Chains A and B, each alone.
Chain A
């Protein structure tokens, strides 16, 4: 193949610039538990179609931030605007119905259920028929089930977990459980996908697979992704922009290159006396 037409994936940041509308913005959010101030006056935005990383040392408030976004925690101060709508008080189920899905730092799946059933639970919000109709399983409810099953099969195919379709999730190795969890989040067809340490505890190959899935999710489904990750190599490669938190404060915000050169970030990671 000739070098002049070398085929490479279009670079991630270029793709992000082409996108651009703000999907979610967080303005001056503060959160405290008793005397512990988990988040102090944090502001940033997530643009449509980008991969936004939130990084920081342990206890910096990253997971708290995600919890605030999907309504699990309720901040004492500040405003969160999602798809142009401002809100103070959010509930996780509302967040889910508005198009926010997430995965957890410690896998939170139904361990006794199969991969298929676990991902199917992600479709619950989209099911229209009542419990009784589904139990009778006739006509419209049967057609609905088949439609959802089809959507789930596409996800199973996409994540390459066909071989464990019917395996109870509790029996799977950790890396695969993480993949199933991503599958369940995708099943809700989210606009914004929150990933809490999607690669924790994975070996290199699993990390590569997961990175590929994340990029492909963004590229093919146009899903916006916010992720927390400790592996800096992964973060720098994957994300378009990075927010850095330290002791609940935002200390930097920018492209991977900018963040890497930022003195405050270097200090936070290397550690200086506070």
Chain B
């Protein structure tokens, strides 16, 4: 193969299939992917991966894929789906990953909008979803599936198993000696300026938009990302976030290819924690929610631990809080604490890191939402080099990143390599970089709105640079509001603070155009459920648990703690929460209350729960709520009940200075 691919190797490495060929030659026997199958980790080498991609690509050609065709990729992270992306790209097709948990209607919109001809999906569930909306997709011709379970009796006319397509490809290679050369020529045809992938943004408002990214966008961003933290062939990462999300596409696909890193796929979405522990990734990315859940699980388990363990845990956690971060950053620490930290590492931190799967983690990143400072410090103090980055699909991820040794919980770091940033007059962050997307697919108006003619992109986030030159994001630009008194209120900031408490899973703050701040709170069913079990509080449903007076007491105590903390911060003292309520249902993406990436859709919630917001501001003690909910299978039901409203104490401000402008 070396002689045949020399034509490709001679040219620039400007597309990812070309990078794959390089890896297959240079790192032939090093692991490219691992996945757990029937309980045992299996390995694909770079050479093996390249063979799989080639067989699939030639098979796709046999069933009719043409250059320029859009191919949807839908399913949990599996090596075959990643291979499918490379195979489609090698033929000049455009992969369109779609969120695998999207309901059929959302999926139909993307498939229709992207004019998808082929879909490569994970399993029967996805096949069923597509079939259920088939009449809306006249352009869709064929479905290829990975997992064959349950699909044996389906009409095979337009359905193919992944293996079958590969068999077609292998058959072609056996009978036609020119097939391999043809495939290499197809790859050589690819250019850096070609569209490499189309990613639909979940979008907090309106229909999703198809962000078109070129190979150039992705390759420069991935190379910069690798260089920034020194990733290379010896690094391992776990691919477990949706493949349709730009982060996974860049980290688990582009960066892995560029750096010849090994990507590990978990056995199933439910086994991620266990799989991470077994793999021990050196690079780990997770949205704050994952870190929150991990911490909640640890805390819940510690509640059940014996006296000795509990006290040891608490003592050394305190040591870590005092000195852990300084030690991680290489700053001076008194000898006594240094020794205690060593001991703590032996007894508590190392076992804890091992349990969470961070034993070998060199770098961990979080992004997507601001992370609670306490949560952030917790991981860093345990010796996990957790950092923040700020990015967007439109930027091929990277806008700012935190360099080692300059990690602050309240900022998202310095501009990433090759990125320029400016702050607009209204406080909105704007950037320009080689990663800036080509355009939105079939949406000229949105492209114009987001991207200026000279290449600056509106992020939609409000923020400012602090004295250290680090960017601070306070909220969505459109969400930053004002109380009637004129003080600025950044709802997300408050929500993130309250969410650090293990009992709170989600929160929505209000205040714009009112006299004071109020909040909706979602309790965390795991943490509160565990508490209920230990305290003999019986309940039959989430609604009943959420409405329990003793749960309300606990949450009220947490809100009180937050208010007291806020009163200490001159800029935030005015944002203390005066009234709150506990929602009787979990905010859910199926009801449109969260995006698929689990972000709160504020305006939608405000509309849906209008009656409750009115109650928060008219002094009512209780309000009747009756709303429609969607179950996972798409059926609708109703939730009825009274929601109580709790009044909170407001702490006096230490200074009367109002919250200053964000851009200052």
Contacts and interface: CB of A to CB of B under 8 A. Distances in A.
B634 to A, nearest CB: 11
Contact of B154 (A9, A160, A163): A9
A204 B631 contact: yes
A5 B155 contact: yes
A8 B153 CA distance: 8
B152 A154 contact: no
Given A7-B159, A157-B38, A162 B134 contact: no
Given A154-B38, A216-B149, A220-B149, A7 B158 contact: yes
A163 B138 contact: no
B595 to A, nearest CB: 22
B152 A219 contact: yes
Given A208-B633, A216-B150, A220-B152, A3 B135 contact: yes
Contacts of A111: none
A10 interface: yes
Nearest to B123: A160
A8 B131 CA distance: 8
A153 B39 contact: yes
Contact of A156 (B39, B134, B155, B270): B39
A158 interface: yes
A9 B153 contact: yes
B416 interface: no
Interface string A2-21: 11011111100001000000
Nearest to B137: A1
Nearest to A8: B155
A212 interface: yes
A150 interface: yes
A165 interface: yes
Interface in A207-239: 208, 212, 215-216, 219-220
Given A5-B158, A6-B131, A163 B268 contact: yes
A205 interface: yes
A162 B137 contact: no
A204 B149 contact: no
Contacts of A6: 131, 134, 155
B153 A10 contact: yes
Contacts of B134: 1, 3, 6-7
B131 A204 contact: no
B631 A162 contact: no
Interface string B24-42: 0000000000000111100
Report the contact-size class of chain B (Cβ under 8 Å from the partner).
20 to 34
A205 B633 CA distance: 7
Contact of B39 (A10, A15, A160, A165): A165
In which size bucket is the chain A interface? 20 to 34
A210 to B, nearest CB: 13
A1 B154 contact: no
A212 B38 contact: no
A208 B128 CA distance: 13
Given A1-B141, A154-B38, A162-B267, A7 B157 contact: yes
A82 to B, nearest CB: 26
Contacts of B268: 160, 162-163
Nearest to A212: B150
Nearest to B155: A7
A65 to B, nearest CB: 29
B349 to A, nearest CB: 25
Contact of A150 (B38, B150, B153): B38
A135 B545 CA distance: 49
Most A C-beta atoms less than 10 A away, residue of B39, B137, B155, B632: B39
A163 B270 contact: yes
B229 interface: no
Contacts of B267: 162-163
B636 interface: no
Contact of A163 (B37, B157, B271, B631): B271
Nearest to A165: B39
Contacts of A165: 39
B154 A8 contact: yes
Nearest to A160: B268
B635 interface: yes
B140 A1 contact: yes
A31 B143 CA distance: 53
Nearest to A151: B38
B171 interface: no
| Most interface-central of A1, A5, A162 (chain B CB within 10 A) | A1
A165 B131 CA distance: 32
A85 B626 CA distance: 61
Contact of A1 (B39, B124, B158, B274): B158
Given A153-B38, A157-B38, A163-B274, A205 B632 contact: yes
Nearest to B270: A163
Interface in B156-197: 157-159
Nearest to A207: B633
Contacts of A216: 149-150
Contacts of A7: 131, 134, 143, 154-155, 157-159
A10 B153 CA distance: 6
Interface in A130-168: 150, 153-154, 156-158, 160, 162-163, 165
Given A2-B138, A7-B131, A158 B157 contact: no
Contacts of A154: 38
A156 B267 CA distance: 11
Contacts of A2: 138
Contacts of B138: 1-2
Contacts of A157: 37-38
Contact of A219 (B153, B157, B158): B153
A186 to B, nearest CB: 13
A177 B159 CA distance: 34
A107 to B, nearest CB: 21
Contacts of A1: 130-131, 134-135, 137-138, 140-141, 158
A205 B38 CA distance: 25
Interface string A65-87: 00000000000000000000000
Nearest to A7: B155
Nearest to B635: A204
Given A156-B39, A160-B268, A162-B270, A5 B149 contact: no
A162 B271 contact: yes
B270 A5 contact: no
Nearest to A157: B38
Contacts of B149: 158, 216, 220
Nearest to B135: A3
Nearest to A213: B150
Nearest to B139: A1
Contacts of A15: 153
A140 to B, nearest CB: 21
B636 to A, nearest CB: 12
Nearest to A6: B134
A219 B37 CA distance: 23
B154 to A, nearest CB: 5
A150 B38 CA distance: 7
Contact of B157 (A5, A150, A204, A205): A5
B133 to A, nearest CB: 9
B231 to A, nearest CB: 29
Contacts of B159: 7
Interface of A: 1-3, 5-10, 15, 150, 153-154, 156-158, 160, 162-163, 165, 204-205, 208, 212, 215-216, 219-220
Given A1-B137, A163-B271, 19 more contacts: A1-B130, A1-B134, A1-B138, A1-B140, A3-B135, A7-B143, A9-B154, A10-B153, A150-B38, A156-B38, A156-B39, A157-B37, A157-B38, A162-B267, A162-B271, A163-B274, A204-B635, A220-B149, A220-B150
17 contacts: A2-B138, A3-B135, A6-B155, A7-B143, A7-B154, A10-B153, A156-B38, A157-B38, A160-B268, A162-B39, A162-B268, A162-B271, A163-B267, A163-B271, A204-B631, A219-B152, A220-B152
- Smallest CB-CB A-B distances: 6 pairs: A163-B270, A153-B38, A1-B134, A7-B155, A216-B150, A5-B157
